[in-house]
Structure formats: structure tokens, C-alpha cells
């Protein structure tokens, strides 16, 4: 297709992550709860957490034999993650019809946080401890019947900020390529989430600001509208659109695979000129994922 792969790297960084398995009477309600629980979680720059939906799973793969959905939640600190888990499980899963919530990390966890053990107090003394599939859970009475939540949820250090940039001739080609990338990643790669709306970010940022006291500001080097304004622009003359795909994962291997799969899908769309990645010279995080190392 003649798409250039820039010799650069994506700069990713560690964040604490928890993987939650939401089950429900059917996939519709599991997904409804999952979308609510991962709302306002696109970037820790201004969101209280980062998160997203990983994938759906069949009843044969869940503790209670019902359809399920895996979601991830990420935070810079363990304390912050615990707070977000309690808030989001309590407000977005406990409240949703027919749902239950279980730990989704299993043996990969390095710590376990008392999430169900904290939420049990909503039962006002009527809650009961039980076991489902070898897991310690709480049965909390609610008007519908009961909410089942696992006593402890596992956490570990994951990888956040894996990314690639799609530079295209026009917005139509760019959006199609980004959509193809999201579809490929979601269909082929486990253990990752795409935290931005629909998996696509149009507002890539840089660390800090040249003019204001901000933690982050627009990545002016990759704004096509500024290519004739900014002397050091990274935008070729024939590029008029850039989309960023941001990937968080349970480990570096999964993030690398998602980048490769997504880039390969994006490159098949006519009008895509170049693939690049966002980095900050190593100032943001310790993981440097070179595009040329992905075997593209």
C-alpha cells in the first residue's frame, strides 16, 4: 500500500490495573453495566481513572454460568484504584439489573483489595458471605433480589499509553482506518482495552504547555491545521487528518500485539499515508515500543 512506518517509538508507562468480570442475565445488561462502569475514564490527565471494555465471554467461562464482560480500570496509585473500584462497582454494577461482579485477574494479581468486603455494608446487616465457584462472595439484598460481588479484587501493574498515529490524506480515510484498527484489536487481542471514545482519540496531547500552566496540551506538531504555522511540524504536505489509537493492557506483550494488529488493519485503507507514534523523549514512561520492532 506504500504506507510509511516512521522509525520512532510509542512511549508507555506503568499504571495499577484491575480486571473485573461482570455477569448478568444476558449480554445486553452485562454490557450496559460495563459501559457505565468505564464511563469518564479515557485519560488520567483529567479523568478520575482510565478504563475500557476488553471483551465479552460466554456462560461457560464465568463463575455463575451467565454471560459476562471483562472490563479494566487503571490508576496511578493503588489507593486511587481501590477508591475507583469501590465507586464504580458500587454505583454502576450494583445498581444495574441482574448483574454480579467478580475478580478477573485471578493468579496474575500481585495484591488483592477488599472491594466486595467494603460494599457489603450496603446490605445494612442483612448481607451474607458465601462461596461461588471457589470464590468468596457477598450476597447483598437489593429490591430486585440480591447483588453478588466477590470479596476481594486483584490488582497488578499494567501498561498504559501504548499508541500509534494514523496520518491520512483526508478525514474519511483516517476515520475508516481508525475504525478498522479498533475492530481488529477488539476482535483479535485479549488483555487490552482502548480507553478513548470508540477506541479513537482525535486530540493527542503533549506533556505540559508552551504557554499555560497545564499538565498537558494539544500535540501541535501533529495538528494538520497548523502544518503551515509550526516550523517543526511533523505533518507531511499531503496529510490532512491524524487519529491516535491509545492502548492499555495487562502486560507489555499484549500492548505490543494490539499495536501490530491495529497498524496492519489501518494500513489497508487507501488514503493512509504514514504510521507514527507519540512519545516524549522518554520523559513520560519507561516502556519504549519501537514501531520497527513490531514486525510490520
Dump pLDDT digits (tens) for 98-126: 999 999 999 999 999 999 999 999 999 99
pLDDT digits (tens, 9 = 90+) for 25-42: 999 999 999 999 999 999
Is residue 113 within 8 Å of 32, Cβ to Cβ?
A: no
Residue 168 shares a structural domain with residue 269 = yes
One domain for residues 218 and 140: no
Phi-psi region of 254 (alpha: psi -120 to 50; beta: other; left: phi over 0): alpha
On whether both 104 and 66 belong to a single domain, the answer is yes
- Residues 164 and 109 placed together within one structural domain of the fold: no
Indicate if 127 and 143 belong to the same structural domain: yes
Query: What own/partner pairs with CB < 8 Å and gap ≥ 24 does 227-233 have?
Result: none
> Cα(170)–Cα(268) distance, rounded to whole angstroms?
15
Range of the domain at 133: 16-156
280 & 246 share domain: yes
Q: Are residues 46 and 171 in the same domain?
A: no
The answer to whether residues 62 and 176 belong to one domain is no
The rounded distance, in Å, linking the Cα atoms of 240 and 227 is: 9
| Alpha-helical runs (H) found in 44-142 | 78-88, 116-119
DSSP lists the bridge partners of residue 150 as 137
Percent of the chain scored above 90 by pLDDT? 95
Q: Residue 135 pairs with which residues in a beta bridge? A: 132
Count of structural domains within the chain: 2
Is the domain of 29 the same as that of 100? yes
Residue 162 and residue 238 in one domain:
yes
* pTM for this model (two decimals): 0.96
pLDDT of residue 250: 98
Residue where the block lists cell 460495563: 34
Q: How many residues does the chain have?
A: 296
Q: Which of 99, 126, 156 is the last residue of a domain?
A: 156
Amino acid at each position: 500500500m506504500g504506507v510509511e512506518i516512521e522509525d520512532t517509538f510509542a512511549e508507555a508507562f506503568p499504571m495499577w490495573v484491575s480486571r473485573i468480570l461482570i455477569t448478568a442475565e444476558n449480554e445486553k445488561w452485562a454490557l450496559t453495566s460495563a459501559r457505565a462502569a468505564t464511563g469518564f475514564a479515557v485519560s488520567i490527565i483529567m479523568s478520575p481513572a482510565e478504563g475500557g471494555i476488553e471483551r465479552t465471554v460466554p456462560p461457560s467461562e464465568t463463575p455463575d454460568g451467565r454471560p459476562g464482560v471483562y472490563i479494566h480500570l487503571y490508576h496511578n496509585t493503588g489507593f486511587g484504584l481501590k477508591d475507583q473500584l469501590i465507586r464504580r462497582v458500587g454505583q454502576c454494577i450494583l445498581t444495574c439489573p441482574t448483574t454480579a461482579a467478580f475478580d478477573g485477574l485471578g493468579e496474575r494479581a500481585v495484591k488483592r483489595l477488599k472491594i466486595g468486603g467494603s460494599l457489603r455494608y450496603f446490605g445494612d446487616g442483612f448481607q451474607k458471605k458465601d462461596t461461588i465457584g471457589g470464590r468468596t462472595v457477598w450476597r447483598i439484598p437489593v429490591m430486585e433480589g440480591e447483588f453478588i460481588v466477590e470479596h476481594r479484587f486483584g490488582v497488578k501493574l499494567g501498561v498504559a499509553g501504548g499508541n500509534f498515529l494514523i496520518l491520512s490524506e483526508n478525514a474519511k480515510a483516517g476515520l475508516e482506518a481508525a475504525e478498522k484498527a479498533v475492530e481488529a484489536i477488539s476482535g483479535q487481542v485479549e488483555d487490552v482495552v482502548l480507553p478513548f471514545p470508540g477506541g479513537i482519540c482525535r486530540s493527542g496531547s503533549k506533556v505540559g504547555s508552551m504557554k499555560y500552566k497545564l499538565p498537558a496540551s494539544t500535540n501541535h506538531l501533529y495538528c494538520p491545521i497548523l502544518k503551515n504555522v509550526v516550523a517543526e511540524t511533523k505533518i507531511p504536505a499531503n496529510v490532512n487528518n491524524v487519529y491516535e489509537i491509545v492502548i492499555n493492557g495487562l502486560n507489555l506483550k499484549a500492548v505490543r500485539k494490539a499495536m501490530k494488529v491495529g497498524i496492519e488493519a489501518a494500513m489497508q485503507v487507501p488514503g493512509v499515508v504514514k504510521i507514527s507514534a507519540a512519545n516524549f523523549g522518554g520523559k513520560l514512561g519507561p516502556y519504549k515500543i519501537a514501531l520497527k520492532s513490531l514486525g510490520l
